[in-house]
Structure 1
Amino acid sequence: MEQKKEIYSAYTEILKEELMAAMGCTEPIALAYAAAIARRELNDLPDKVLVQTSGSIIKNVKSVIVPNTGHLKGIPAAVSAGIVAGNPDKELEVIADVSKDDIKNIEKFMQEKEIVVEHLDEGIIFDIVITLYKGEDYAKVHIINSHTNVVLVEHNHQILKSSDCLNDMPSDTVKYELLNMKDIWDYINHVELVDIKDILDRQIAYNMAIAEEGLQADYGANIGKVILSSDANSLKARAAAMAAAGSDARMNGCELPVIINSGSGNQGITVSVPVITYAKELKATDEQLYRALALSNLTAIHQRTPIGRLSAYCGAVNAGAAAGAGIAYLSGGDYEAVIHTVVNALAIVSGIICDGAKASCAGKIAFAVEAGILGYNMYMQGQQFYGGDGIVKKGIEDTLKSVGRLGKDGMKGTNEEIIKIMLE
């Protein structure tokens, strides 16, 4: 009984920790957040900015539009936005409240101030150090491994904050190691909805709003619209299109917030929007939708935990498989249906690489969602991939361990090569 209470508490806290609001791609927002903290400590606009960051951050910021900047891209834009107009108290919504004058001042700051970007190669995948200089004064902020994990704040040689917390997850007090599919299934079927309703309501509202925006306006390559133009009557196509449209908007400057999953807005959209789309079509009850979303969110987090926040392994893959799990639940599937859906989906699309945040993320999301749905349809027709088929192992947990190993260790070299290609 005590073990069940511990698991219940841990899973509830994981959902609360992970399902945060964020505006824009979370890596440039992490840069803006660090810069805003440094600006507050310096208490003045700097003359010079030094940005030292790992290759994976460079990769994920290089091609994405930073919201509330007048469609500026890249590291200097993200950092300048944080310095000029950021509110660090709002964390991943640090640049949510930017005025038209602020946008002009952000561009002016970029043009007039010296902003130096250096590749920081200390063996840490997620690594950001920002130092602001004003005459002989300086302020430095260091973030490691997750978007708001500030391990150092320093002002003129005075250490204002120091931490040795090097966790890949946002909190070292929440027990991510307790995650497993069997207990996730038990949790989502028995959780008191009052404990998770508020955060899931916000996920539904925010992520569907940005998906609708992606279909209405012109963003990136308009993947969502392309899918619907060829197959508007298929529920599977609509689910993939809606998720892709959310990414279309988010990657290309939309100023609406999203509820993230595993540190990623694209993953947050992918685990939720297809499930919500299916729930509407199937006329699911609110309770069924909440339980399906709890399943998809926790399944995605469980897959991503051993990989870490950033990798050459595309996060849409685990999010799409998790969406398939939620759809399986809504369709009346039992535990066996859910775990086979996840394994089947991972066997199909685990080779998709992450080459940074940009417009093509929407296409990868669409394929990942379709793989999740295909994984469920396979199970319903008595088909599955078996242990020994490539990286698939016997049993869901061993398969997830294989995928985690692939994403974290196996693709290190791939990540390094992608970064080299992008920096040429």
Structure 2
Amino acid sequence: MVNSGQTNTAQLVAMLNERAAVNVKLALVGNAQRWQLHHGQVTLDDDTSLQEQAWRYSTATFLESRLPGPMVAALLRGEEQDIDGIRVVCPGPPSATASTYRLRGREEWDRVSTPWPRTEWTISRDTNAAHPGYGLLVGDGPSFLNFDHALSAFLHQRPYDPTTNRADLWRITLPQRAGWLSQITIRPDLLTAVIDGEDLHGAELELSWAAGHQIHPVDGAGTYPFPLPHGLAHDSLLMLRRDGQWLDWRSFPPPAYGRARDASVVWERPGPELELLLANGEGQHLECKQEVPEGESRKKMLKTIAAFASQDGGTVLIGVRDDLQIVGLPEEPNVDKQVLQVVGMIRDNVEPVPSYDPRVIDHDGKKVLALEVSGGGQMYAYRNGQRAEFYVRVGPNTVPARHHEIAAGFQRTPTTTTF
């Protein structure tokens, strides 16, 4: 089975028609007489929890309900339907095909991840569809600044992210629970994989890398060990498979800090994680410092932190030389004081203060401070006296942001920032 492609919409209609009921979330725009579908989310699964609810406003309605499969199939075909006492219509003629994605467990796509793999189909919205507008939403439901904020809360229970674009009219999800990797623990000399699933008959678990591979037959849910006499190779791939098809898988690339972590992968000893991070050297998302910097070196580090936060995140490692040799933090002052020193630098010199996680990694008795900076979806400034300076990351270099980059950054900023 391919991981992405196209599916005829008629196949999805047939799939819905075969189901007695499905879980549905509908976001509608319009008025009391006529409501047009803005986004529909369907889960083809009887085990997924459902909260029956309806948020009603003068220009928008959000419904979560369990509906008959044939009713949702008719709506997908473009036929008007009476749902929860209102008339729901679809914008424009139905699309002939849907984009298809097969996703592994814990893979986040469009702000959604699940422990198990899943197949998702999306159908894009007609560009001529009614626009939801940007006015305040006050009514029979929580109040919101505008439709986009309400939609994010309704679908994901998360704050609105201006960098995401909800361009799909339909999103249909089918969980794949035959088998999945619920947790992988990595030690310097051992990898253990915990497998769960509803149908593991005939499955096998494979750990492969460029120089070889190991295979475990799977006789049911449980824990399966893989000795690592030479440590975990940088190009390792762990795959749960059956009959030439994958059920679930994980790879272990250098961690991309500042981005969502895979909660199923546990580095019991962080040394191997640090080695993977350093495998590709300094670059777009990694900067190394031998010790807590002073003078011009301190300014450069703070500018880099502002650049990471203004783009898609990154990590500063303190206790690592430019040649990637791990030397560790100096013994004096103690590690806690050095962490507080760096935290104070960021608080006093980067505006607004970005989201970051200071983490001390113990590697062969040497302590390294990792500053994992999240991308904030807006511009962050290095405060140089009374002047706010903006920077971006270009490969391994931090450079002043150009006017158009600054303007683009502030256009995606959700709230006004005052300097």
Does the TM-score normalized on the shorter chain lie above 0.5?
no
More strand by share: 2
Bigger Rg, structure 1 or 2: 2
The structure, 1 or 2, with the larger RCO (C-alpha pairs under 8 Å, 6+ apart) is: 1
TM-score scaled by length of structure 1: 0.24
TM-score scaled by length of structure 2: 0.25
More helix by share: 1
